[in-house]
């Protein structure tokens, strides 16, 4: 069993443990409140919910909750990010090790990255045609031009890359989908090279490639979703605990303070723990994207360095090709102008 599997198992156990701990704490606090409210003859006063005092107490409780979540999240992020042998350290070390290995070949990465984008775009287009519209010959259909595609209301025979190919008829919706693909309407957000080459860089802009371009959004969505959930539960608990009043006049002041204190301490403790463990969940999301970066860089290393199945060009090679292409176009333009001029002289 490797380290990643061990960490995964430990993570599941710890996740189960923390749920049990938080559940146990809640039971203990509620039990204490039941005991206190029973001893001092406390009961619910629904009219309290519409009073100014309740609104003030609820705002204070929510503030305590938010401070607890934010503080706990910061502490949790620092704890899990620096914890020895935890998932983040393993993912980060794997990435850095591979990043150092490819450094001598980094000038070839931009060209390979462009090719990766084309492959992922083709994958997305194939999925779009096959899964969304049921096109059985999706790969061949992507090689046709618009004039050929619109003829596929009936079975057709076309020459594709020098080979005779036969195509079944398509529905109107399938034809429109194919036109979307060949006209470039099916798009994929391009991820810049810095995202892959820097462990902490994010492309602030859905295969895994497309999800990676939204890494920040995924983490923020998870954090705010969990925070909203926690604050919602706090409001519900606040409604109940805030309405608890003491009926016995001689004990009212002291006992009410005890109930309020327990309520607020429970809110603070629970919120800090919630924020702490939320940091763990968010870092797991970050580890997922870091692992994907490692996978991409490893693919680059295998294709370019080890197996040499992809002949990556350097930026100098690309610049040379652009210059040569520009010179070729200029030469063709001059030849065309000279031909027109000679024809004019001949007349």
**213: pLDDT confidence band, cut at 50, 70 and 90?**
low
- pLDDT > 90: what percent of the chain? 31
* Nearest of 20, 18, 24, 21 to residue 80 by alpha carbon: 18
**218: pLDDT confidence band, cut at 50, 70 and 90?**
low
Q: Is the pLDDT of residue 6 over 50?
A: no
Which residue did the predictor score with more confidence, 252 or 155? Answer: 155
pLDDT at 301: 94
pLDDT at 212: 58
Using alpha carbons, list the distances in angstroms from residue 110 to 105, 171, 264, 281, 337. Answer: 11, 40, 55, 33, 37
Using alpha carbons, list the distances in angstroms from residue 13 to 18, 19, 87, 250. Answer: 9, 10, 14, 49
Helix (H, G, I), strand (E, B) or coil at 195: helix
Question: Residues 264, 99: contact at Cβ < 8 Å?
Answer: no
* Nearest of 213, 50, 35 to residue 121 by alpha carbon: 213
Question: Residues 191, 213: contact at Cβ < 8 Å?
Answer: yes
**13: pLDDT confidence band, cut at 50, 70 and 90?**
very low
| pLDDT, mean of residues 122-136 | 93
pLDDT at 268: 77
Q: What is the pLDDT of residues 264-286, one digit of tens each?
A: 777 777 778 878 888 888 888 88
- pLDDT > 70: what percent of the chain? 67
pLDDT at 345: 65
C-alpha–C-alpha distance, residues 194 and 197, integer Å:
5
Residue 105, token pair as written in the block: 């070949």
| pLDDT, mean of residues 161-172 | 92
Work out the burial of residue 92: count CB atoms within 10 Å of its CB; fewer than 13 is exposed, 13-18 middle, 19 or more buried.
Answer: middle
């Amino acid at each position: 069993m490797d380290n990643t599997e061990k960490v995964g198992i430990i993570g599941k156990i710890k996740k189960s443990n923390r749920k049990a701990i938080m559940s146990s704490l809640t039971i203990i606090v509620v039990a204490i409140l039941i005991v206190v409210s029973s001893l001092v003859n406390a009961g619910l006063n629904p009219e309290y919910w519409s009073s100014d005092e309740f609104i003030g107490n609820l705002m204070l409780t929510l503030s305590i909750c938010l401070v607890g979540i934010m503080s706990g999240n910061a502490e949790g992020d620092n704890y899990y990010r620096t914890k020895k042998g935890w998932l983040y350290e393993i993912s980060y070390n794997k990435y850095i090790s591979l990043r150092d290995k490819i450094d001598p070949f980094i000038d070839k990465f931009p060209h390979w990255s462009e090719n990766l984008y084309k492959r992922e775009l083709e994958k997305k287009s194939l999925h779009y045609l096959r899964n969304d519209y049921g096109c059985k010959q999706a790969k061949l259909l992507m090689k046709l031009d618009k004039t050929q595609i619109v003829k596929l209301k009936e079975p057709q025979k076309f020459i594709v890359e020098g080979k005779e190919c036969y195509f079944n008829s398509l529905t109107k919706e399938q034809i429109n989908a194919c036109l979307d693909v060949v006209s470039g309407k099916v798009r994929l957000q391009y991820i810049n090279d810095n995202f892959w080459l820097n462990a902490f860089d994010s492309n602030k802009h859905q295969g895994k490639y497309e999800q990676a371009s939204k890494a920040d959004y995924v983490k923020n969505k998870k954090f705010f979703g969990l925070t909203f959930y926690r604050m919602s539960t706090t409001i519900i608990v606040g409604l109940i605990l805030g309405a608890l009043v003491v009926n016995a006049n001689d004990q009212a002041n002291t006992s009410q303070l005890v109930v309020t204190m327990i309520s607020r301490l429970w809110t603070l403790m629970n919120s800090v723990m919630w924020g702490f463990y939320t940091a763990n969940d968010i870092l797991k999301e970050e580890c997922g994207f870091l692992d994907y970066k490692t996978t991409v860089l490893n693919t680059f290393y295998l294709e370019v360095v080890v197996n040499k199945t992809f002949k990556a060009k350097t930026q100098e090679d690309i610049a040379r090709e652009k210059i040569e292409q520009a010179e070729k176009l200029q030469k063709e333009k001059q030849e065309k102008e000279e031909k027109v001029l000679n024809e004019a002289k001949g007349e």
